[in-house]
């Protein structure tokens, strides 16, 4: 069986961690370490927050979702390996609606599954298959606009937009390097205007679109210096509309304006903070940055200070 997104694009080469992130003065966005969470996951990939602040972690290798409180204490887990209702095959991405529906990109089963906040199965739908490959959904993003659900189809280099009940509305994208094209689209996030930011992994950038798939701008370019990206994976937006991007190979997280101007590297006391394969990231209402460190099997929680 072909190795899917979780293994092809998240495995880190530790040699890259020794490459300097800057050739000049380090630009920092300082943070304060709060705590680590080690819930017993095996190569976790993504994280979402419920309306009350609970954390839902995708533990894909173990084919389950781990639920923790805001302080990181274990609550429960749900899911087992399989293709039945409530079962998973290497899930990768997750998002939660304001109404409390938990949407899971059940990657290996080529579908989206939907649960309530207690892990009860509600319904599921199959993601449309591409012309060459079966669908490879690796992330979902819930919109407040027109009940949209965005799905990144990694292998087919498309974004497919469904109603949250599973009705396909429209799609865009194809393999390529031009604006609006992708080479393995991955994780996504929406801002307050329902504009969507999509990590375009092998094009080493984040692309921004309006809610209907019209290109707006891009963030980042290939490189190993500060302000560039080598293997972007996660994306999050803070309360100042800054766009944070995790780089799994370089082990750093960088901040940009929503138009793509580089602002700084996530630091601790003006020193670059290095993570072990940072992938999914999210920022809560208290401006806490939560980082899924895949190879460390943990979540690192930081307070953004500036």
User: What digits encode the pLDDT tens for the residues 53-107?
Assistant: 999 999 999 999 999 999 999 999 999 999 999 999 999 999 999 999 999 999 9
Phi then psi for residue 104, to 5 deg, are -120, 130
Q: How confident is the model at residue 24 (pLDDT cuts 50, 70, 90)?
A: low
Q: What is the CA radius of gyration of the chain?
A: 18
Model pLDDT, residue 92: 98
Sheet of strand 64-68, all strands in order from the earlier edge strand to the far edge: 47-49, 55-59, 64-68, 74-78
Segment 210-228 mean pLDDT: 96
pLDDT above 80 (res 262): yes
Encode pLDDT of 153-181 as tens digits: 999 999 999 999 999 999 999 999 999 99
287-299 mean pLDDT: 98
Question: 172: which residues sit within 8 A by CB, 6+ positions away?
Answer: 158, 159, 180, 209, 213
Mean pLDDT of 139-147: 97
pTM of the model: 0.92
Indicate the pLDDT class of residue 6, thresholds 50, 70 and 90.
very low
User: pLDDT at position 107, please?
Assistant: 98
Strands (E), 220-274: 232-237, 243-247, 252-256, 262-268, 271-272
Please answer whether residues 17 and 250 qualify as being in contact, where contact means their C-beta atoms are separated by less than 8 angstroms. Answer: yes
Q: Tell how strand 262-268 and strand 28-37 pair up.
A: parallel
Q: What percent of the chain has pLDDT over 70?
A: 92
Q: How confident is the model at residue 17 (pLDDT cuts 50, 70, 90)?
A: very low
Cα–Cα distance, 286 to 253 (Å, whole number): 19
Q: Considering only 78-92, 127-141, 194-208, which range has the smallest mean pLDDT?
A: 127-141
Cα distances (angstroms) measured from residue 1 to each of 4, 5, 109, 183: 9, 12, 13, 21
């Amino acid at each position: 069986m072909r190795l899917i997104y979780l293994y092809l694009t998240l495995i880190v080469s530790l040699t890259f961690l020794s490459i300097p992130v800057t050739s000049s003065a380090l630009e920092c966005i300082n943070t304060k370490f709060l705590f680590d969470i080690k819930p017993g996951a095996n190569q976790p990939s993504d994280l979402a927050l419920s309306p009350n602040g609970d954390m839902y972690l995708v533990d894909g290798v173990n084919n389950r979702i781990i639920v923790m409180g805001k302080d990181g204490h274990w609550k429960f887990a749900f899911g087992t390996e399989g293709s039945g209702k409530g079962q998973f095959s290497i899930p990768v991405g997750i998002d939660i609606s304001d109404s409390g529906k938990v949407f899971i990109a059940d990657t290996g089963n080529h579908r989206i599954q939907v649960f309530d906040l207690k892990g009860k199965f509600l319904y599921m739908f199959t993601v449309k298959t591409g012309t060459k490959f079966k669908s490879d959904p690796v992330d979902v993003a819930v919109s407040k606009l027109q009940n949209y659900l965005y799905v990144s189809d990694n292998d087919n280099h498309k974004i497919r937009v469904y109603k949250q009940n599973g009705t396909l509305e429209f799609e865009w994208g194809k393999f390529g390097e031009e604006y609006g094209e992708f080479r393995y689209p991955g994780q996504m996030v929406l801002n307050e205007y329902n504009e969507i930011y999509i990590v375009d992994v092998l094009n080493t950038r984040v692309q921004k679109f309006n809610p209907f798939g019209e290109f707006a701008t891009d963030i980042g370019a290939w490189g190993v210096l500060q302000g560039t990206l080598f293997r972007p994976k996660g994306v999050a937006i803070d309360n100042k509309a800054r766009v944070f991007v995790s780089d799994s190979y370089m082990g750093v997280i960088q901040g940009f304006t929503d138009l793509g101007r580089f602002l700084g590297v996530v630091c601790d006391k003006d020193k670059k903070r290095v993570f072990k394969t940072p992938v999914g990231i999210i920022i809560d209402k208290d401006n806490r940055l939560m980082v899924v460190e895949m190879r460390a099997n943990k979540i690192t929680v930081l307070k953004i200070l500036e």
